[in-house]
Amino acid sequence: MRKPALVVLVVDDEVQIRRFLRAGFELQDFAVQEAATGAEGIRAATLKPIDLVIVDLELPDMDGAEIVERLRAWSKVPIIVLSVRASEEEKVRLLELGADDYVVKPFGMAELLARARAALRRQVPGQQGDPIVRAGPLTIDLATRTVSLDGRPVGLSPKEYRLLQVLAQHAGNVVTHVHLLREVWGRAHSDDAHYLRIFVRKLRQKIEKDPTQPRILTTELGVGYRLSVDIG
């Protein structure tokens, strides 16, 4: 018995982009809904249950921030933003407003699917949630607060664990610098990016095989960090 297909709402004014997204998602057994404008997208999201929203940053009738804000006003549906290069501040703003992740145009379908799956994973499965997060050789048990690498326990300081925990709660998706600083050090330190760099470095030394070429705790330049779950 197959479970019912997950519904993806694609909000983009470019018909060609919608076409390939439809093809790409349908090949992966998603059902696709299309909307050409922000207003149409919001209407579609209210009419039918939607599992995932893909929204273009530049829509003719409203900007990406507005649509993310309006969706977040009543829905926890995962949102992935299609962005362009050289707009890191805009990406951070959208993530802060509640978008789950972004991909930069031009992008490949594999990249978008990975982001989409990660965002869906947080929402869908057995609502009690799976306390175990796996990222390649790394296992994080959020229930027992234990971390192990290739089965061997890893000793982390409380702050290091907290950092890893926040990333694990968004496993596979980007978490902004500001968000991490706020969650780990508190609101007063949300500008102290230097702390974060130092702790990420310490954490990488404990969980990465080669800390200078991290595969688990990866960097999104100018935006934040990501706990990469689909490591080949």
Partner 1 sequence: MLDLARLKWDGAHVAPIAVSLLIVAAVTALLFVAGPLLDLDHAAFGYLIPVLIAATRWGVTPAIISGLAGLAASAFFFYPPIYDIRVTNPAHIADLILFVVVAVVTGQLANSVREHVNAARQREEEMQALYFFSRRLAVASSPADIHAAIQDHVSAITGCRVALFAAGAGHSPPETSPQWPHMPKPIQRAIVDILDGTSNGHEAPLFDRKTGASWLIRTLSQRNAPVGIKAIELGRVSRQSIDAIRRRVDTALAEATATLERIDVAHALGEARVRSEAETLREALIGSVSHELRTPLASILGSTSVLSQAPGVAQDARLASLVEVIRDETERLSNDIQNLLDASRISSAGVHAHLAWTEPPDIVNAALARLHRRLEAHRIEPLLAGDLPLVRVDAVLIEQALSQIIDNAAKYSPPGSTIIIAARAVDATVEIAVSDEGPGLIGDEATRLFERFYRGPRHQAAVKGSGLGLWIARAFIVASGGQLEAASKGAGEGTTVTVRLPAPSADASENGDA
Q: How many residues contact partner 1, by CB under 8 A?
A: 44
Interaction of residue 187 with partner 1, rule CB under 8 A: no
**Dihedral in degrees, nearest 10, Cα atoms 213, 219, 221, 224:** -160
- Applying CB under 8 A, among 49, 155, 158, 232 the residue interacting with partner 1 is 158
Instruction: Tell me whether residue 123 or residue 157 sits nearer to partner 1 (CB atom).
Output: 157
- Applying CB under 8 A, among 17, 39, 65, 178 the residue interacting with partner 1 is 17
Query: Residue 145: helix, strand or coil by DSSP?
Result: coil
Are 12 and 21 in contact, with CB atoms under 8 Å apart?
yes
- Segment 53 to 112, residues that bind partner 1, using CB under 8 A: 58, 84-86, 88-89, 105-110
Closest CA to 54 of 70, 68, 73, 75: 68
Query: Residue 227: helix, strand or coil by DSSP?
Result: strand
Interaction of residue 27 with partner 1, rule CB under 8 A: yes
Interaction of residue 199 with partner 1, rule CB under 8 A: yes
List Cβ<8 Å contacts ≥24 apart for 203-207: 203/156, 203/160, 203/163, 203/164, 206/149, 206/154, 206/155, 206/156, 206/160, 207/138, 207/147, 207/149, 207/154, 207/164
Piece of the chain touching partner 1 by CB under 8 A; list 31-39, 40-48, 133-141, 209-217: 209-217
User: At residue 104, what are phi and psi to the nearest 5 degrees?
Assistant: -100, 130
Interaction of residue 43 with partner 1, rule CB under 8 A: no
Over the Cα atoms of the chain, what is R_g? Answer: 18
Interaction of residue 23 with partner 1, rule CB under 8 A: yes
Instruction: Tell me whether residue 108 or residue 131 sits nearer to partner 1 (CB atom).
Output: 108
Are 174 and 224 in contact, with CB atoms under 8 Å apart?
yes
Q: How far is the CB of 183 from partner 1 (least distance, A)?
A: 14
- Applying CB under 8 A, among 1, 4, 16, 73 the residue interacting with partner 1 is 16
Interaction of residue 160 with partner 1, rule CB under 8 A: yes
CA torsion sign for 198, 203, 204, 209 is positive
The Cβ-side half-sphere exposure at 212, using a 13 Å CA radius, reads 0
Q: How far is the CB of 144 from partner 1 (least distance, A)?
A: 20
Q: How far is the CB of 74 from partner 1 (least distance, A)?
A: 30
Residues of this chain that bind partner 1 (CB under 8 A): 14, 16-17, 19-21, 23-24, 27, 58, 84-86, 88-89, 105-110, 157-160, 185, 192-201, 211-214, 218-219, 221-222
